[in-house]
Amino acid sequence: MRGRKWTGSGERAAVTAVVVLLSVYVLFNLRVAAYHLATEGWKSGLAEMALSLWVMLLTYLAWEARRRHTSPSWRRTHLAARGWLAMVSLVYLALGLYHFTHRGTRSGVMESLAFLVLLALSLALA
């Protein structure tokens, strides 16, 4: 058995959603990384860039596992990658709440938007 075929308008819409959401997240996160590198410190900027790479790797694993959904190991890989994406999004939620209470509205909004984009990405990979 080969794997699920990516046909039909629903599958094309899912692929488009994943590509758009991942692009939005990466561009958003690289902008935040550049801001951190320029103003607040290099450690925060490097952490943001590493997080972008981690999210891209998890998205690739979930995408490939969804496409090759034929064995139990691929199903576990798909579930694990989506779970890790959800956990990363919860980190952004915690950072957003912290920034709303301690740093200011702008930082809180940025982190909350990252949370929403990652949560939508995890759901689009279902």
Under the banding of pLDDT at 50, 70 and 90, the label for residue 1 is very low
Higher per-residue confidence, 3 vs 18: 18
Both tokens of 77, joined, read: 């890989």
What is the domain count for the chain?
1
Please compute the mean of the pLDDT values over residues 99-110 and round it to a whole number: 85
Structural domain for 24, as ranges: 9-124
CA separation for the pair 46, 5 (Å, rounded): 38
Residue 93 lies in a domain: yes
Residue 16 lies in a domain: yes
Mean of the per-residue pLDDT values of the chain: 85
Residue 101 lies in a domain: yes
User: What's the whole-model pTM score?
Assistant: 0.80
Cα 12 to Cα 44, 50, 77, distances in angstroms: 36, 29, 22
Residue 79 lies in a domain: yes
pLDDT, residue 4, reads 52
Residue 89 lies in a domain: yes
Please compute the mean of the pLDDT values over residues 57-73 and round it to a whole number: 84
Residue 43 lies in a domain: yes
Residue 2 lies in a domain: no
pLDDT, residue 8, reads 60
Residue 4 lies in a domain: no
